[in-house]
Amino acid sequence: MTQFFQFTNLCRHFEQNGRYIMESGTVEPGHILAIRGPSGAGKSTLLKMLARLVIPESGEIMYRGQSWQTIAPMEWRTRVHYVAQKPVMFPGTLEENFRMPFKVSSILSDKVFSTENMLQYLAEIDLPPSMLSQEAGTLSGGEAARAALIRALLMEPEILLLDEPTAYLDGDSRAAVINLLNQWVAVQERAILVVSHKDEDISELNKVSILTVAVGKAGE
């Protein structure tokens, strides 16, 4: 049976102290892989390797039975989409930020922006439609984090790579995001890999398995 998304012996050395990360994992449609581990173990680096923002020194990534090396990087990132812990907003209004990726035809030639989906996502994570005309640079950290997640979802990836998605959120906003992620991953063939240090996030995610990342050191 072909694995939906799998990585094997994915390795990257860090610049200091001879440390490295080497991990393997798999996730199936409708499921969530939570990545845990101590600070400095390389959890964020692992997500960035899976997003092809950091090149692994060795190892393999397979998506629907196809090696990552046979898929163009930009195409890969429309299917396997990374959302950083620190949200990035571009100059312009919030709505312009949502629409921006769809103007890059070489990346998203088969994607169509959906106003209906935009409004639905805003409602589900408690952002009012009136914010669409607000300058994105004026958003609070929590608002920007939720907006960055919406922008990713509007691109309709099949794999979401999320780095501490609730780090900037209070109780109600955090619960709304967790609920949205559970709903999203249950539709069609989708999966999530998430780095989170919050036990309550992991416990409230559906169909979740745990990958614990250890700190490797050269010579061990």
Domains of the chain: which residue ranges? Answer: 5-217
Q: What does the pLDDT read at residue 155? A: 93
**Chain-centre distance of CA 30, in angstroms?**
15
**5-217: CATH number:** 3.40.50.300
User: In this structure, what token pair is assigned to residue 52?
Assistant: 């092809």
Q: What is the pLDDT of residues 143-182, one digit of tens each?
A: 999 999 999 999 999 999 999 999 999 889 999 999 999 9
Instruction: Report the distance separating Cα 199 and Cα 208, nearest Å.
Output: 12
* Helices within the chain (DSSP H only): 43-50, 73-79, 94-99, 105-108, 115-124, 141-154, 171-185, 199-204
Q: What is the pLDDT of residues 197-217, one digit of tens each?
A: 899 999 999 999 999 998 665
